[in-house]
Amino acid sequence: MKTLLNWLDDRTGFRSLMHEALYERVPGGARWRYVWGSTLVFTFVLQVITGFMMWTAYSPNTRGAWESVHYIQHDMLFGGVIRGMHHYAAQAMVVLMGIHLIQVVIDGAYRAPREINFWLGVVLMTIVLGLSLTGYLLPWDQKGYYATRVTTSIISATPLIGPEAQLLAQGGPRYGHLTLTRFFAMHAGLLPALLTGFLVLHIWCFRRHGLTVRDPDAAPETTFWPDQVLRDAVACLGVLAVVLLFAVFRGAELSAPADPVVRFDAARPEWYFLFLFRFLRFHAVESMGPAFGPIIVPGILMTILILMPLTAGQFGRPGHRLNQAFVWGMVAVMAVLTGMAWLEDRADPAHQAALAEAERDAHRAHELASGPHRIPPDGAMEMMRRDPFTQGPRLFDRHCKACHRWNGHNGRGLPVMERREVLSENGTSGQPPEYRSVIAAPTAADLGRFASRAWMRSVILDYSAHFAALKNAAWYRSAADSGEEDILDPDTSSMADWSGDAERLRSEDCRDEVDAIVEFLVQEAGHRGVRTDPVLVERGRAIAVDGDWDLGTACADCHSTVGQPFSASDVEADGAPTLAKYGSQEWLRDFIRHPDAARHYGDRNRMPAYGPEKLSDRDLDLLVRWMTGDYPETQVPDYPDLTGRDSD
């Protein structure tokens, strides 16, 4: 070994290089405060290693990016840990960079002759932030997609060159595949190369001028090896341990596949950019124009930072104190703004609902991608677009919430709100009206348990209460005021009269018969995954069709098609809606398309018909399948029931 090392040293001179690197003088002795630069280099190396590992499985295209990241996260050996380490090492790098900057300013290590090294550090900080921004998009998930769209829109606000800079950043006028490949090229190629080059220059300048030591006589002088190396190694091990713990027990987030059609209201930048996000939301900042908050103010702050060595050189100790106050003030403002953003989001029901929906979609995407059918050839976005469990709530929110509710909400977990004028107690005239948001009253039945046992039982036992929401509708109040009789009235219809005999229907004598009718109607609806008792079903059929029970009346007395296959040609002569396969998918599709048909409500109908121009066949199918539970099994919890009623 000695002979080999001597030969290698003769050819390369590595011993002198190692001596130069390891035996640097450390006046005042080794200190823990000197470890931050080494931890930054360590996290960058960790980023390079884990980034290369993910690169081997990543597919930089809009159809395969999310799929490849999902593969890395869930299928590749230790892929979840590797991605988690890459994710949290990036965040650790930002934190360590901030600590290192504060330490440099406190110690005055930016003053002559070290000003060039300080400026190189500022360049490195900018590159690190650029790496964070470009890496955010690469999973091509909802969170990264929408957050990066905000970033590129901010670029467009740059004075003089804004639109051209945005085109350059996103790869053209459209946000899509070229945007992803361009960000990938910057994240995995250009920016790491620039960071490596400037890091070499930074370390070279640092070695040229040495450490900035407040009191060189505080301890005996030592060398970088072994005392300072030991402290640096312990600090790097601590960073690695923290990153690894987060990677193992928390993991990196992967939201649902990016979909430009779906609004993602939960989008927020990473926590270390939240201060800027909150700053941009101030009304005064918004009123100053699109470039003021995201471009001009950060530009001024960066200019002050760059001028700090000159400020300290020109004004001496007062200038240095001013620089220290500026840095600490900036840290305090950033902390306050970050806290404000976090607290406001916590108190915002709409944002919390958006977060819940984002988490729901993320878990659902993982379920589908890991299921028996995996991700289809046309990509993960289409996989989600074809899923009734995902799309049904959105379609309900878009088309149905104006009248109906789903378990008391809009289908997506939020109460339906409306603006209502606040009446002045003093009755002062001439003042502009005041408005406040209140929960809007539904004007049709809550469909959250449509065609379930609870639904059928409620229709039979308490028809008037079940459809009482109709009385909130403007058409009902208008018809009631004018004395119009040919309307859907939950209080005066023949079904209301029959159901009004609640005491007898709930009696011991009728309880079993009502249970049988309910079981029969549930079996007729045929919702996926709902099992029925065959004996009860046949007993219920006999009652519904023939009136074979103590009351003697049959559903068929008014609804002549009950128990028959559904047909669009069925006509109820007496105006009672058809009960042929009531609540089934074929019945529901026809009812949504033609609620005014004679087989449904005819002339008494007030529900708008949803033709293909308003609701496509594909969307209708997704909505109906969601309402009837016809989708692949899921472990994702549904939105909470806001009605407070017992579940069926």
pLDDT digits (tens, 9 = 90+) for 500-524: 776 777 777 788 889 999 999 999 9
Give the mean model confidence (pLDDT) for residues 38-62. 96
Residue 493 has pLDDT above 90, yes or no: no
Between CA 381 and CA 57 the distance in angstroms is: 19
Looking at residue 99, its pLDDT comes to 95
Q: How far apart are the first and last CA of the chain?
A: 78
Q: Assess whether pLDDT exceeds 90 at residue 533.
A: yes
Rounded-to-integer distance, Cα 526 and Cα 627, Å? 12
Which percentage of the chain shows pLDDT scores above 90? 67
Q: For 21-30, 102-111, 448-457, 598-607, which range has the lowest pLDDT when averaged over its residues?
A: 21-30
pLDDT at 113: 92
- The per-residue pLDDT for 572 is 66
Task: Calculate mean pLDDT across residues 382-411.
Answer: 96
Contact, 94 vs 132, CB < 8 A? yes
pLDDT greater than 90 at residue 264? no
Q: How far is CA 423 from the centre of its chain?
A: 38
pLDDT at 152: 87
- Residue 448 to residue 627: CA distance in whole angstroms: 8
Place of tokens 């002198």: 16
Give 421's strand partners.
435
Highest mean pLDDT out of 169-183, 255-269, 356-370: 356-370
In sequence order, the 6+-apart residues with CB closer than 8 A to the CB of 1 are none
At 79 the pLDDT is 96
Residue partners of 48: CB distance under 8 A and separation at least 6? 192
509 alpha carbon, distance to own chain's centre: 53
What stretch of H or E contains 421? strand 417-422
Position 573 confidence tier, pLDDT thresholds 50, 70, 90: very low
Which residue, among 264, 627, 253, 228, has the nearest Cα to 449 in the 3D structure?
A: 627
CA 351 – CA 418 distance, rounded (Å): 18
Mean pLDDT within 252-260: 94
Q: 483 or 265: whose pLDDT is higher?
A: 265
Average pLDDT, stretch 427-443? Answer: 78
Average pLDDT, the chain: 91
Q: How confident is the model at residue 587 (pLDDT cuts 50, 70, 90)?
A: very high
**Mean pLDDT score, 359-387:** 94
> Residue 242: its pLDDT value, please?
97
Per residue in 600-637, pLDDT tens?
Answer: 988 888 899 999 999 999 999 999 999 999 999 999 99
pTM for this structure?
0.87
Q: Which domains does the chain have, with CATH numbers?
A: 32-256 (1.20.810.10), 270-347 (no CATH), 453-627 (no CATH)
pLDDT of residue 425: 57
